[in-house]
Amino acid sequence: MANVRLEDIKRRFNNVTAIEDITFEIPDGEFWVLVGPSGCGKSTILRTIAGLETATSGKLYIGDRLVNNIPARQRDVAMVFQNYALYPHMSVAENIGFGLQMRKVDRKIIQERVMNVARSLSLDHLLDRKPKQLSGGQQQRVALGRAIAREPQVFLLDEPLSNLDAQLRDDTRAELKQLHQELGITTIYVTHDQVEAMTLADKIVVLNRGRIQQIGDPQTIYASPANQMVATFLGSPPMNILPVIYENNGFDVSGQLLTIPAVVKEKLQLRQGHSYDLGIRPEHIFINEPPTRQEANESQLIVEVKVVEPLGRETLIRAGLPGSAVVLNIQVGGDVRPRPGDRLSLQLDLNQLFVFD
């Protein structure tokens, strides 16, 4: 096992800078997730650590060793891809043991280790099968098994669950987390899926356009996003963003005044006459009963329901501000079921507002 340190890594392809200013250190044994939209540079970072890509500049350390010029196979890392890449003519056991066989490990030891790995991944009853006789989830577990059997210092996983269907993806995600708790191998996991990032990570690195936006544990990033990109990327449904102007001690939200108490004004450092993007998460909006607009100093917004999505435990509501194109996502209890066309009076939790310039 080892820590992994990137110092000011940059990678350019011809004239295109894929990643730059990439600096972080993953302590030994932690599970870090690189997350961001497609094309933000996640795979390039992972492939650079693996040695499948060379950094244009910057330093990369695995443990105490500077590895910029060390070939991939000598870095003692194991990488798992989304398309499994199993050997079709080999059995499950041969696939899992392949890396060991290449290193001329004793046959007895290979057998033992393959058995242990297969057991921990619930593959022990499938050892004689060929990959095409396995489900997608089983194939992905074999690919993981092959990586684990090598006992690498670092695990690199590139969207390993994206080819699995929803239920299997959830199950395998939980298994991965358990596996990491058992093995404690330093793991770097790439995904565009914010749920995977939130649930798996000790630390999340949010990337956009080749640059780091924020590094932190999931709760901190969710509660204190560094900028609007991070705020809207993590969270499902995403944070609502409303274009507003701050004036008369409140926000003008498409013609409705949302009164803001002085303490909140101080906290958010609001300036009169200034335009902002106001952020509020769907779970921090509540429905007032009865739905009427009351005293002017109350912070309410009147909206018209457009779409209602009952999800059992909760209901998602999409509602529009009258006379504007702005649509709000609202997340309420499953027993709340307004109908399209209803007018609702909303209460926003003013302690949970974000403003972005």
Beta strands in the chain (DSSP E): 4-13, 16-26, 31-35, 57-62, 65-66, 77-80, 154-158, 186-191, 203-208, 211-216, 240-247, 250-253, 256-259, 274-280, 285-288, 300-310, 314-320, 327-333, 343-348, 354-356
- Would you give the binding string for ligand ADP spanning residues 326-345, x where CB under 6 A is met? --------------------
Number of Cβ within a 10 Å radius of residue 104 = 8
Given 29, 39, 291, 320, the residue binding ligand ADP (CB under 6 A): 39
Q: Of the two residues 203 and 209, which places its CB atom closer to ligand ADP in the complex?
A: 209
Q: Please state the closest distance from residue 109 (CB atom) to ligand ADP, in A.
A: 36
Residue position matching structure tokens 């199993």: 86
Which residues have C-beta within 8 Å of that of residue 275, sequence separation ≥ 6?
A: 243, 244, 245
Residue 43 is a binding residue for ligand ADP (CB under 6 A): yes
Determine the Cα–Cα distance for residues 10 and 186; give it in Å rounded to an integer. Answer: 22
Please pick, from the candidates 15, 38, 69, 167, the single residue that binds ligand ADP as defined by CB under 6 A. 38
Minimum distance from residue 229 beta carbon to ligand ADP (Å) = 14
By CB under 6 A, the residues from 7 to 26 that bind ligand ADP are: 13, 16, 18
Q: Which stretch binds ligand ADP (CB under 6 A): 41-49, 69-77, 135-143, 175-183?
A: 41-49
**Does 51 help bind ligand ADP (rule: CB under 6 A)?**
no
Count of residues interacting with ligand ADP (CB under 6 A): 11
Rounded distance between C-alpha atoms, residue 166 and residue 140, angstroms: 14
Is 239 a binder of ligand ADP (CB under 6 A)? no
Q: Mapping DSSP to helix (H, G, I), strand (E, B) and coil, where does residue 103 land?
A: coil
Segment interacting with ligand ADP (CB under 6 A) among 31-39, 63-71, 217-225, 254-262: 31-39
Cα(150)–Cα(101) distance, integer angstroms: 10
Copy the structure tokens of residue 67: 């590895």
The yes or no reply on residue 41 touching ligand ADP (CB under 6 A) is: yes
42 binding ligand ADP? (CB under 6 A): yes
* Contacts for 224 with CB less than 8 Å, ≥ 6 apart: 216
Q: Which is nearer to ligand ADP, 47 or 281 (CB)?
A: 47
Residues near ligand ADP (CB under 6 A) are 13, 16, 18, 36, 38-44
